Amino acid sequence: MPLSSPFRPKHFGPSAPGSVQIWVGARPRRLRGWLGVLLALISFGGGLALVGLSFRLGLRLMLNPEALPQVLAQFQRSQQMALPPATSLEDLRRQAEADQQRLGEPLRLGEPDPDGRGMLLVPLQSSASGAIVSLALLQGKDSEGELRAIATLPIPPLSKDLVLAPWLNNSQAPTAAPSTFAFSRVVPLPAPPVATDGIWLTLEGSWPQQGLTLRYGHLVHYDPQHQRLELLKPWSSPANRPPQWADLDGDGPSDLIIDETVGLEPALQGWQVIAGATPRLQSVSWVRVPGDAGARAGAYQQALRLARSGLWSLAATSLSDLKAALAEGWTPVAEAQLRLAERHAAITRQQADQDWSTPTQQVLALLIDGRWEAALTQLEANTDLLPTLISRLATDRGRMWSRISAAAAQPNPEPAVYVWGGLALKAQQNQPTSLDGATQDWLTRQPVPAASRQRLNRMLTALSSAQAQTVANKSDGATRQDLGQGAIAPAQTVADGAIAIAPLEAIIGQARPISAPQTGYAAPGQTLDSALGQWYAVELRTVRQNQTWRQGFATPATADPAVVWPAVRTAAQASPQVLRWVTPTTGVPSLLTVRGLTLANGTTTLLATGPAVDASVLPPLVFSQGALTWLDASQRQRPDAEAIATPVGAVLFGRQPLPAEFARALTNLAQHSLDLTGDGQTERVLTWDDAALAQLTQWQLPVDRSAPKTVILNSDNQVLYSDLFAPQSLVALTNPTLGGSIALLVHRSGSYDLLTWNAATKQFE
* pLDDT value of position 74: 40
Assigned domain for 388 exists: yes
Regarding whether 505 and 446 lie in a shared domain, the answer is no
* pLDDT value of position 397: 62
Regarding whether 735 and 680 lie in a shared domain, the answer is yes
Assigned domain for 9 exists: no
* pLDDT value of position 226: 87
Assigned domain for 385 exists: yes
Range of the domain at 445: 360-365+372-468
Among 624, 658, 681, residue at a domain's last position: 624
Regarding whether 612 and 642 lie in a shared domain, the answer is no
pLDDT in tens, 111-153: 888 777 889 999 999 999 999 999 999 988 776 778 888 888 9
Residue 510 β-bridge partners: 539, 621
* pLDDT value of position 1: 38
Regarding whether 640 and 610 lie in a shared domain, the answer is no
Residue 539 β-bridge partners: 510, 605
Q: What angle do CA 369, 372, 376 make, to 5 degrees?
A: 125
Regarding whether 657 and 638 lie in a shared domain, the answer is yes
| Sequence-separated (6 or more) residues with CB below 8 Å from residue 587 | 1, 3, 579, 580, 581, 621
Regarding whether 534 and 453 lie in a shared domain, the answer is no
Q: E-assigned strands of 224-267?
A: 228-237, 244-246, 255-259
Regarding whether 316 and 394 lie in a shared domain, the answer is no
- How far apart are alpha carbons 607 and 594 in whole angstroms? 6
Assigned domain for 673 exists: yes
* pLDDT value of position 658: 84
Assigned domain for 266 exists: no
- How far apart are alpha carbons 174 and 171 in whole angstroms? 9
Assigned domain for 260 exists: no
* pLDDT value of position 448: 87
Regarding whether 390 and 346 lie in a shared domain, the answer is no
Regarding whether 544 and 520 lie in a shared domain, the answer is yes
Among 468, 487, 504, residue at a domain's last position: 468
Print the SS3 string covering 58-102.
HHHHHHCHHHHHHHHHHHHHHCCCCCCCEECHHHHHHHHHHCCEE
Q: How far is CA 626 from the centre of its chain?
A: 31
Going 354 to 360 to 363 to 365, the CA torsion angle's sign is negative
Residue 747 β-bridge partners: 729, 752
* pLDDT value of position 476: 52
Regarding whether 566 and 444 lie in a shared domain, the answer is no
Among 592, 624, 656, residue at a domain's last position: 624
Q: What angle do CA 426, 428, 433 make, to 5 degrees?
A: 45
- How far apart are alpha carbons 271 and 412 in whole angstroms? 35
Regarding whether 654 and 540 lie in a shared domain, the answer is no
Quickly count: other Cβ atoms within 10 Å of residue 238's Cβ.
26
Q: E-assigned strands of 478-623?
A: 491-493, 499-501, 504-514, 521-522, 534-545, 548-551, 577-583, 586-591, 593-600, 603-610, 621-623
Q: What angle do CA 285, 721, 467 make, to 5 degrees?
A: 110
Kindly give the parts of the chain with pLDDT less than 70: 1-86, 143, 169-173, 175-176, 194-196, 210-211, 291, 397-398, 429-442, 467-500, 633-634, 680, 737, 739-740
Backbone angles phi, psi at 522, to 5 degrees: -95, 130
Please report which helix (H) or strand (E) contains residue 707, including its range: none
Residue type, 153: L
Q: How many separate domains does the chain show? A: 4
Assigned domain for 150 exists: no
Assigned domain for 59 exists: no
Residue 149 DSSP SS3 = strand
| Nearest in space to 542 (alpha carbons), one of 456, 468, 627 | 627
Regarding whether 754 and 677 lie in a shared domain, the answer is yes
Pairing label, strands 603-610, 709-713: unpaired
For the CA atoms of 140, 142, 143, 144, what is the dihedral angle to 10 degrees?
-120
